[in-house]
Each structure stands twice: as C-alpha cells, then as structure tokens.
Amino acid sequence: MRFMRFWPLMIDSGPMAAVCCRRILQKMEGLLVADVNPTLELLHTHRCIRSFATDSVDEVMLDRIVEAAWRGPTSINGQEISLIVVREPRARAQLAEIAGGQPWIAVAPVFVLAVADFYKTAKGCQIAGKTQVAHEDPEGLLVGALDAGIAIAEMMLAARSLGLGVVPIGGIRRDPQAVIDLLKLPPLTFPVCGLCIGHIAKDATQKPRLPLASFRHDETYDASHLASDIESYDKTLLEYWRRIGRPDGLPWSANTAAKYQSRYYPDVKPVAQKQGFLKD
C-alpha cells in the first residue's frame, strides 16, 4: 500500500519518468530487503529465555554457534578471546550458584563462557621477542570486554537462527575468582560473560525499551528529552510487568538505581589485578 503514491509517476513516460521508475524500484527493493529479512527479523524479535528444556543441544549446532563467534571481528585482530564450553551438569550447577542462584544456568544444557584472554596474546608477543604490557592498562580490559561482548552477540544470533533460546550471564562476575578456579583459567585471563544456550521450554515476551530517541542520536548527543523519556518508559515497563504477571517488577529508574547505587561486583577489580590486569 505504501507504494501507491508512486504510481502516477510510473505511468508517465520519457527519460525523467525512467529515472523516477528506477529510483522507485530501488526504494521498493530496499524496503522489501529490510522488511523480509530473516536476520533482521531475529534481531528485532530478541528476547532472553530463562525457561529451558534439559534436552541436549546437537553437537553440529553447537559447533556452528561457536564458529560464528570465532569468525567475529576483534580489536587489531588480537583474537584475545577464548570460549569455555561447559556442558558438565555439576559445573553448571556450581556456576548457577556463583552467579547468585540463577537456576537456568543449571537447566540449560550448554553454558559458554567468554574469557578475555591476554595469556594467548602474551605468548604471541613472547614469540615475537617482546613483552606484552597492554593488559596492564584499562584499555586492555576494555578491549577484552568489548570483544567478548561481540562474541556473545554472534553466538546469540547463531543460536537463535537455529531455533534455540539464549540468555547472557554477567552474574558470573559476582565471584570471578570462583569461576577462574572452577574452569582453570590461567593468569592474564578474565571471565567476562557467559551465555546459556538450550531448547526453549517457555518462550518469553519481548521487553519494551527506552524510547528510540534516547538511544539514537543523530550527529551529536541530544539529552533534551531524556528525563521525559525515562518517565514515560518507567510507566511502559510497569505496564509490561503487570501484563506478564510480575507485580514485583520495578520501573526502569528504580531497578537501575537498585544496582548502580553500589559497586555491585566489588571483586572484579582485585581479581582482575591478581590476574595481571589494571596495573598502576
């Protein structure tokens, strides 16, 4: 229907009409590509799953998911990421406890931990006859966390394209030393984020977001409507919690404040330092 307004132009003739027709067709093609696109469809329907079946994930599927992250970009092609694929139920149960009691980690058959791995790059520097110091600077940890996040995102998309459910798990940073000990991580590594992968037992509804205008800024940052955007989103989120039967759900501002009013994972800094990161 949205193309109807172009028809009068298309039935005209002559060179101008031909140019117009071509542009209109390109526009239609662009709109179709954007509207009927399975990758965008997956991205736009994202929701985290916390209700998993215990059925195992096919090994070929798991291989393809891990390879999606392996193929991902990394800063300077440093590839300072390692993934630990945890399927062993006892280890997953321990990780569920480490993350503060998150039962879905024990239920989902696969947990993949993304590790910032400067142990690997230090070996490379050693082979090149140099000593690595980049990990001592906050930039090192930032790059490791960023590339780990990309790896998690690649795996999420790959897993969802195979019909599986996912939820990232940052809760493991509640006790990073316990994760290091459990999964035998060497020095110069840090556990950044995990990902539960499994078959969906109960699908989740999509959570509304802050207004797009508070996310997308064109050319320069614009905070002029931020307060009103937050106020309106607080109401939207409360309505969402009510709709899905979660009367304990908080408005966004209160929920965020509950976490961000404290340094909520205080062990991150000392453990990162113990691992060799963040040297003064």
Rounded Cα distance, 20 and 7, in Å = 11
| Residue whose CB is less far from ligand FMN, 6 or 241 | 241
* Long-range contact pairs involving 57-63 (C-beta distance under 8 Å, separation at least 24): 57/109, 57/110, 57/164, 57/197, 57/198, 57/199, 61/159, 61/162, 61/164, 62/110, 62/197
Does 96 participate in binding ligand FMN (rule CB under 6 A)? no
Report how many helices (DSSP H) and strands (DSSP E) the chain contains, helices first.
Answer: 12, 4
Residues 6+ apart with CB under 8 A from 98: 171, 172, 174, 175, 178, 179, 182
Give the x/- contact pattern for ligand FMN in 25-54, rule: CB under 6 A: ----------------------xx-x----
Does 113 participate in binding ligand FMN (rule CB under 6 A)? no
| Residue whose CB is less far from ligand FMN, 20 or 210 | 210
DSSP 35: H
Which of these ranges, 69-77, 106-114, 140-148, 167-175, lies near ligand FMN under the rule CB under 6 A? 167-175
Minimum separation from the CB atom of position 123 to ligand FMN (A) = 28
Residues 6+ apart with CB under 8 A from 50: 104, 167, 204
Strands (E), the chain: 81-86, 110-117, 165-169, 189-198
| Residue whose CB is less far from ligand FMN, 207 or 269 | 207
| Residue whose CB is less far from ligand FMN, 122 or 169 | 169
Q: Which of 117, 206, 109, 125 is nearest to 159 (CA)?
A: 109
| Residue whose CB is less far from ligand FMN, 104 or 118 | 104
Query: What interhelical angle do 252-260 and 226-243 show, nearest 10?
Result: 100
Minimum separation from the CB atom of position 168 to ligand FMN (A) = 4
Does 170 participate in binding ligand FMN (rule CB under 6 A)? yes
Does 236 participate in binding ligand FMN (rule CB under 6 A)? no
Rounded Cα distance, 270 and 175, in Å = 11
Rounded Cα distance, 144 and 135, in Å = 9
Minimum separation from the CB atom of position 217 to ligand FMN (A) = 21
Does 153 participate in binding ligand FMN (rule CB under 6 A)? no
Minimum separation from the CB atom of position 8 to ligand FMN (A) = 43
Does 274 participate in binding ligand FMN (rule CB under 6 A)? no
Does 251 participate in binding ligand FMN (rule CB under 6 A)? no
Triad 172, 173, 177: Cα angle to 5°: 95
Q: Which of residues 121-140 bind ligand FMN (CB under 6 A)?
A: none
Assess contact for 168 and 193: CB atoms under 8 A.
Answer: yes
| Residue whose CB is less far from ligand FMN, 153 or 226 | 153
Give the x/- contact pattern for ligand FMN in 191-230, rule: CB under 6 A: --x----------x--x-----------------------
List interacting residues with ligand FMN (CB under 6 A).
Answer: 47-48, 50, 99, 102, 167-171, 193, 204, 207
